[in-house]
């Protein structure tokens, strides 16, 4: 696993996102890593994802480590093919790092999926970091469409599945249930920060 190192600015002690001038000095005051050098290694080990992690991860997405992928049903279904993700959910803090890591497994990225709650999140909301990451990602991958999804939008789910795999971590549980009900084997990607691997269902 590669662990690209990115040097922080010793003057500011905070990494900033050159693509996002608004992100300067927006460090979480509770951050414990402002004085540490942020690397992919530290992000993967960090129990809490903060804005500077997101900045770094998106800026160095191309250098992100290749996280292992495990097909959950490989004992049962031997002829399933894993579909590379064409849609990536960016909708909950827990799924953001996986959403960036999974970009290395995409062949043709079509959609960022999110929810209306994320799009309307204010800075105090726990969903704000997802909104922030989504804004950065949609700027960086500007030909990727951002779509929202709500409960019972089955036609939308079909549309997503039609394109290929779907990275689902961070989506509300009820939506994950509906997606997984309709998805075939090898379609759904989940990132486990504990195991540091992707599970494909």
Partner 1 sequence: MSEQFQPEVKKFKWLLSQGYINPAELAFYSNFYEIQMTTTINFEGNEILTPLFILTKPSKFDRLKKELPQAEIADPYSKKFPLISLISIEKFVNSLVNLKIPYFFFTLFLHESYYNAPPHVHALLYTLLQLANSSNKYVIKYYNIKEEPMPVSSDLQKIVCHFNKMLGDKDNSCDDSDWWKYNLWSKSTNNTAVDRKMIEKIALQYNISPICVHYVLAYNKNPCHLSPFLLLQIKSDLSSSSS
| Residue 178 C-beta: closest distance to partner 1, Å | 11
**CB closer to partner 1 out of 79 and 123:** 79
Structural Rg of the chain based on CA atoms: 17
Binders of partner 1: how many residues, by CB under 8 A?
16
How many whole angstroms from its chain centre is CA 170? 8
Binding of residue 74 to partner 1 (CB under 8 A): no
**CB closer to partner 1 out of 171 and 183:** 183
Write out the DSSP string of 91-113.
-SGGGHHHHHHGGGG-SS--EEE
| Residue 162 C-beta: closest distance to partner 1, Å | 5
- Report the alpha-carbon distance of residue 193 to residue 40 in Å, rounded: 13
**What residues numbered 153-192 form the site for partner 1, per CB under 8 A?**
154, 158, 161-163, 182-187
Burial of 132 (0-12, 13-18, 19+ CB in 10 A): buried
- Report the alpha-carbon distance of residue 71 to residue 166 in Å, rounded: 14
**What residues numbered 85-114 form the site for partner 1, per CB under 8 A?**
none
**CB closer to partner 1 out of 54 and 179:** 179
Token readout for 34 is: 């402002």
**CB closer to partner 1 out of 16 and 83:** 83
Q: What residues does 146 pair with on adjacent strands?
A: 112
Which part of the chain contacts partner 1 (CB under 8 A), choosing from 7-15, 38-46, 77-85, 119-127?
77-85
Local structure of 198: helix, strand or coil: strand
What are the residues binding partner 1 (CB under 8 A)? 77, 79-81, 83, 154, 158, 161-163, 182-187
């Amino acid at each position: 696993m590669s662990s690209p190192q990115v040097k922080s600015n010793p003057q500011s002690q905070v990494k900033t996102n050159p693509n996002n001038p608004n992100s300067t000095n927006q460090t979480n005051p509770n951050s414990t890593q402002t004085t540490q050098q942020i690397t992919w290694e530290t992000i993967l080990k960090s129990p809490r994802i903060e804005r500077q992690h997101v900045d770094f991860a998106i800026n160095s997405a191309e250098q992100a480590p290749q996280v292992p992928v495990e097909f959950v049903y490989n004992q049962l279904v031997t002829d399933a093919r894993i579909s590379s993700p064409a849609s990536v959910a960016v909708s909950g803090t827990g799924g953001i790092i996986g959403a960036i890591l999974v970009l290395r497994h995409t062949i043709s990225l079509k959609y960022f999926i999110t929810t209306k709650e994320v799009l309307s999140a204010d800075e105090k909301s726990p969903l704000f970091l997802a909104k922030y990451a989504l804004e950065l990602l949609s700027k960086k991958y500007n030909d990727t469409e951002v779509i929202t999804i709500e409960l019972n939008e089955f036609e939308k789910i079909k549309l997503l599945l039609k394109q290929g795999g779907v990275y689902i971590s961070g989506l509300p549980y009820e939506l994950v249930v509906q997606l997984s009900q309709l998805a075939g084997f090898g379609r759904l990607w989940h990132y486990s920060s504990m195991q540091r691997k992707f599970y494909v269902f």
